[in-house]
Amino acid sequence: MIVVMKPGAAAEDIKHVVDLVHEFGLKDHVIYGTDRTVIACVGDKRTVEKDAIENAPMVEKVVPILAPYKMASLEVKREKTKICIGPERFPLGGVKIGVIAGPCAVESREQILTTARAIKAAGGVGLRGGAFKPRTSPYTYQGMGKAGLELLAEARAETGLAIVTEAVAVEQVEVCAEYADVIQIGARNMQHYPLLEAAGKAGKPVLLKRGMSATLEEFLLAAEYIINAGNPNVILCERGIRTFETYVRNTLPLAIIPALRERTHLPIVIDPSHGTGHAHMVPSMSLAAVATGADGVILECHPDPERATSDGAQSITPQTLNELMGRLKRVAEAVDREL
């Protein structure tokens, strides 16, 4: 259920309600809006005496949350969540659209710095790069580990880009949080619940990728695990789902953007690189994502895709990224957004 406070409720009024919520054995999540404060209460509501909360000072009303995903629901928070990322605090989820780009995997100092400089020059706000790689085959490149994280941190220090990198196991979350600005949870791990909870406790924004066969509800319930662990800063990322089609690596369902907008306040980012598997399709799907209402795109970009250790076929070059940015800007303006 949610407790809606009256406009002008003071800190002591909010604390009083929170204390009542705790007395009933519920967990509280206080959400401060522009007009009023809402307290979401999660737990076994059979123990709750609704009147005791509803009659508390400065409480406007107490209403049930009908969606199975509580904290991610628009029932709890009507206004869009903005998540500030990186040293320059880019507000993902606001009017501005964020472009995050970078290689599938960190390979060398020269590779990551060259890419980061190009992304910054093009107008990107984030650098993606895998230090730990969850690969389908145990014989393919698994990443540089901590050394890769150190190179990403060096790139951030030089460019100011936000670092987005994936943790593929619970024990990697702490070291990723030490170096990264955003912890990515990949599609294969969307329902790895201990990992979601660990990321929720890490204190950094989390970019959650939709599983390749996950429903929209399962996607939002995975986000709920992170929020319920104490982290409200979850970025939803659609990276394509597995279908019968073979002309693309995955099918990129952009209809999920308006569908999510009807259900959640969380920012939405689209990954057209994994969503297509082909570099020549990435610009078109990036433009379509922005036109459909995405808050950002996350792209694979490599200075020499032919020699990339992984995902070279879906990686655009820095030159293509630079050309794409101008087109993205025009589309953003057409839908009353900025780049």
- Strands (E) across 271-321 are located at 296-300
Please indicate, yes or no, whether residues 328 and 298 belong to a single structural domain of this protein: yes
The reply to whether 71 falls in a domain is no
> Residue 54's domain is classified under what CATH number?
3.30.70.1140
What confidence score (pLDDT) does residue 231 get? 95
Q: Of 32, 63, 94, which closes a domain? A: 63
Please indicate, yes or no, whether residues 192 and 294 belong to a single structural domain of this protein: yes
Please indicate, yes or no, whether residues 148 and 107 belong to a single structural domain of this protein: yes
What confidence score (pLDDT) does residue 46 get? 64
Write down the pTM of the prediction. Answer: 0.91
> Residue 118's domain is classified under what CATH number?
3.20.20.70
Tokens representing residue 48 in the block: 């709750």
Structural domain boundaries enclosing 30 = 2-63
What three-state secondary structure class fits 59? strand
Nearest C-alpha neighbor of 318 from the set 105, 117, 90, 86: 117
Angle at 124 between CA 122 and CA 129, to 5 degrees: 115
How many folded domains does the chain comprise?
2
The reply to whether 254 falls in a domain is yes
Q: 64: alpha, beta or left, given left = phi > 0 and alpha = psi -120 to 50?
A: beta
Residue with tokens 């307290």: 39
By CB atoms closer than 10 A (0-12, 13-18, 19+), residue 286 is buried
126 vs 86: CA distance, rounded Å: 8
76 vs 57: CA distance, rounded Å: 20
What three-state secondary structure class fits 170? helix
The reply to whether 274 falls in a domain is yes
By CB atoms closer than 10 A (0-12, 13-18, 19+), residue 12 is exposed
Please indicate, yes or no, whether residues 47 and 136 belong to a single structural domain of this protein: no
Please indicate, yes or no, whether residues 50 and 152 belong to a single structural domain of this protein: no
Please indicate, yes or no, whether residues 54 and 90 belong to a single structural domain of this protein: no
Tell me the torsion sign for CA atoms 293, 206, 223, 231.
negative
Please indicate, yes or no, whether residues 89 and 56 belong to a single structural domain of this protein: no
Please indicate, yes or no, whether residues 173 and 37 belong to a single structural domain of this protein: no
Low-confidence stretches of the chain (pLDDT < 70) are 45-48, 135-136, 138-142
The reply to whether 137 falls in a domain is yes
> How far is residue 218 CA from its own chain's centroid?
15
The reply to whether 58 falls in a domain is yes
Give the number of other CB atoms < 10 A from CB of residue 160.
15
Please indicate, yes or no, whether residues 58 and 119 belong to a single structural domain of this protein: no
Please indicate, yes or no, whether residues 26 and 96 belong to a single structural domain of this protein: no
The reply to whether 70 falls in a domain is no
Nearest C-alpha neighbor of 28 from the set 60, 58, 3: 3
Strand order in the sheet with 27-32: 27-32, 37-42, 2-5, 59-63
Nearest C-alpha neighbor of 111 from the set 133, 95, 127, 98: 127
Nearest C-alpha neighbor of 298 from the set 244, 232, 252, 242: 252
The reply to whether 74 falls in a domain is no
By CB atoms closer than 10 A (0-12, 13-18, 19+), residue 336 is exposed
286 vs 325: CA distance, rounded Å: 10
- Strands (E) across 252-293 are located at 268-270
Tokens representing residue 4 in the block: 């809606």
Please indicate, yes or no, whether residues 148 and 236 belong to a single structural domain of this protein: yes
What three-state secondary structure class fits 109? helix
236 vs 199: CA distance, rounded Å: 14
Tokens representing residue 182 in the block: 């955003």
The reply to whether 78 falls in a domain is no
Please indicate, yes or no, whether residues 59 and 146 belong to a single structural domain of this protein: no
Give the number of other CB atoms < 10 A from CB of residue 32.
10
Burial code (b: 16+ CB inside 10 Å, e: under 16) for 245-254 equals eeebbbebeb
